[in-house]
Amino acid sequence: MVRRIASIFLLVALLCPAPLLAAVRGKEVMYVGGTIKSVPEATVGELDTQSEQALNFNSPKGSFSIPYAQITSLEYGQKAGRRVGVAIVITVWALFSKKRKHFLTIGFKDGEGTPQGVILELPKGTAKTVITILEVRSGQKVEYESQEAKDHIHG
Give pLDDT tens digits for 58-86.
Answer: 999 999 999 999 999 999 998 654 444 44
* Cα 47 to Cα 30: distance, rounded to the nearest angstrom: 9
- Which CATH number does the domain housing residue 53 bear? 2.30.29.30
Read off the pLDDT of residues 9-20 as tens digits, 9 standing for 90 and up. 434 444 444 444
Identify whether the C-beta of residue 30 lies closer than 8 Å to the C-beta of residue 121.
yes
Instruction: Give the Å distances, CA to CA, from 16 to 20, 42, 126, 146.
Output: 6, 9, 25, 26
Q: Identify the segments of the chain with pLDDT beneath 70.
A: 1-23, 25, 79-99
Domain, as residue range, for 120:
2-154
115 φ, ψ (degrees, to nearest 5):
-60, 135
Per-residue DSSP letter, 75: E
User: In total, how many domains does the chain have?
Assistant: 1
| pTM summary value | 0.75
